[in-house]
Amino acid sequence: MPEPEVYDAVVIGSGEAGKFMCWHLGSLGQRVVVVERRYLGGACPNIACLPSKNVIHTAKVASYFRRAEEFGMRVDGFRVDMAGVHANKQRMIEGLHALHRSKFEASHTTFLWGSAKFVGDRTVDVTMNDGRETRTLRGTRVFLDIGSRATLEPIPGLADAKPLTHVEALDLTILPKHLVILGGGYVGLELAQAMRRLGSKVTVLERSERILPREDADVADGIAQVFAGEGIEILTQAKVSRIEGRSGDAVRVVGTIAGEERSIAGSHLLVATGRTPNTDGLGLAKGGIALTPNGYVKVNDRLETTAENVWAMGDCAGSPKFTHISYEDFRIVRDNLDGGHRSTVGRQVPSCIFTDPEFARVGLNESEAREKKIPYRLAKAPMAAVLRTRTLNETRGFLKALIGAKDDKVLGFTGFGWSVGELLPPFQLAMKHDLPYTAIDDLVVTHPTIAEGLGVVFSGKLVPISV
């Protein structure tokens, strides 16, 4: 083995946690190197959160064209130019790249484009993308933030069908005639509605009894109703036995829907059936880094791996797969390096699905309360009671909060409606600092804002629900 280049910190993967670790340690004057094989700044700005929200917003613009008459406009025909949709998204990504480059430069991080592979304790070989000589790096500390990728289940014919994943779907410059989507979860639902609004025929196949199987039935039903109104076909209880043909040309999904033999033909196939950690092919065992049975890096509640002075953060560590959670992973590790005692145990995991209307949740929902036998009092109100929604012609949905059966603690909040993701923080604050729900209800909130929902949700009686 050649003599390694020694750094204070070797960061593998420039995703959310990895880049913040570089910027933090670099700003302290430490010698930091990051190895990134493809995406400057990781998945979020390149192929996941931000590009998908950009395309989703463009699709919303398209939906406004279709709704023009409702607002008193006359639009004499319009046409979606997918190359233009793509170009708009690319411009946003280029801006994000510039931002990332400036932060890596400001923190004096050495940025290496290449793939890292462990060859020993805290030591990696880097195969450089530009074909130059392999470099060997050793870190006093090593941080893994290698992310995850779309799962390709071993369904006969699936790999040969060359399906789209979110990566290719977000890079389309032509509109699929009929997009068939495997999976009615986060990726499947967000992209289903966006592609439908841009003009594709869309069919979603979900193996469970309903889309978003972990969420409450009223949320899943609400989204299903909106989708039906927009002409999106949702087929639940889908058991796919094989795929024929090729995505981009003609593809056919064969199996049963609710027990009945079916064959669904489309022009394109998108897989959105969950994630697989990028932990293969990295020689982690050579670095003394163990994996869980599901292939995630094995970590404790401080995100320490089985190798001393090696941490894993984000998707690859099996953390809930959200950018804000990867960022929180970074904060936990950062604070513990400074002598803190932060842990992943019991942390809040807020989430938002950017369908239109969007769905947001933090803490307990009704299904979990039933499952865990936690009695609660339910506050629920329609979004139409938040008067801002009437000014926007966006009255669909509801808000609900779960309050303790015997005290005024906030157990959880779920919103399905216009901009409800913005309502999460006050509930989070109350939950984190043990404030009663009345602390939220008592706020003087600007009129007319969606934030008035914070009071509206409590405007009726709290209904006791026994479980």
Ligand X SMILES: NC(=O)c1ccc[n+]([C@@H]2O[C@H](COP(=O)([O-])OP(=O)(O)OC[C@H]3O[C@@H](n4cnc5c(N)ncnc54)[C@H](O)[C@@H]3O)[C@@H](O)[C@H]2O)c1
Binding-site members for FAD are 53, 315
How many residues in the shown chain lie near ligand FAD by CB under 6 A?
36
Contacting residue, 118, 327, 354, 437, with ligand X by CB under 6 A = 354
Which of 146/182 has CB closer to ligand FAD? 146
Q: Which of 24, 86, 341, 447 is catalytic?
A: 447
Structure tokens at 386: 């938040």
Q: Where are the alpha helices (DSSP H) in 286-374?
A: 323-337, 366-371
Under rule CB under 6 A, residue 324 binds ligand FAD: yes
Under rule CB under 6 A, residue 252 binds ligand X: no
CA-to-CA dists, residue 80 to 53, 196, 328, angstroms: 17, 11, 38
Calpha distance 349→361 (Å, rounded): 9
CA-to-CA dists, residue 29 to 8, 106, 360, angstroms: 10, 11, 39
Under rule CB under 6 A, residue 240 binds ligand X: yes
CA-to-CA dists, residue 141 to 123, 187, 415, angstroms: 10, 34, 41
Structure tokens at 258: 């609710």
Residues 411-450 as x/- pattern, contact with ligand FAD by CB under 6 A:
----------------------------------------
Under rule CB under 6 A, residue 195 binds ligand FAD: no
Q: Where are the alpha helices (DSSP H) in 254-413?
A: 323-337, 366-371, 388-392
DSSP 8-state code for residue 420 = G
Under rule CB under 6 A, residue 289 binds ligand X: no
Contacting residue, 321, 334, 361, 396, with ligand FAD by CB under 6 A = 321
Q: Is 447 a catalytic residue?
A: yes
DSSP β-ladder status, 148-150 and 275-277: antiparallel
CB 383 within 8 A of CB 399: yes
Residues 342-381 as x/- pattern, contact with ligand FAD by CB under 6 A:
------------x---------------------------
Calpha distance 165→158 (Å, rounded): 12
Contacting residue, 17, 33, 137, 238, with ligand X by CB under 6 A = 238
Residue numbers in the known binding site are 53, 183-190, 206, 274, 315
Calpha distance 354→306 (Å, rounded): 37
- Secondary structure class of 403 (helix, strand, coil): strand
Q: Nearest distance from residue 116's CB to ligand FAD, in Å?
A: 4
With CB under 5 to 8 Å by kind, the binding choice for 39 among ligand X, ligand FAD, none is ligand FAD
With CB under 5 to 8 Å by kind, the binding choice for 183 among ligand X, ligand FAD, none is ligand X
The one-letter amino acid code at 461 reads K
Tell me, rounded to whole angstroms, the distance of Cα 187 from its chain centroid: 8
Contacting residue, 32, 48, 85, 310, with ligand FAD by CB under 6 A = 48
Which of 336/351 has CB closer to ligand X? 351
DSSP β-ladder status, 148-150 and 123-128: unpaired
Determine the interface stretch with ligand X among 99-107, 185-193, 298-306, 459-467 (rule: CB under 6 A). 185-193
Q: Nearest distance from residue 80's CB to ligand X, in Å?
A: 22
CA-to-CA dists, residue 189 to 141, 202, 203, 206, 280, angstroms: 39, 10, 10, 10, 28
Counted residue by residue, the chain has a size of 467
Task: List residues binding ligand FAD (CB under 6 A).
Answer: 12-17, 35-39, 42-44, 48-49, 52-53, 115-116, 145-147, 166, 187, 278, 282, 314-316, 321-324, 326, 354
Task: List residues binding ligand X (CB under 6 A).
Answer: 153, 182-188, 190, 205-208, 213, 238, 240, 272-275, 321-322, 351-354
Catalytic residues: 447
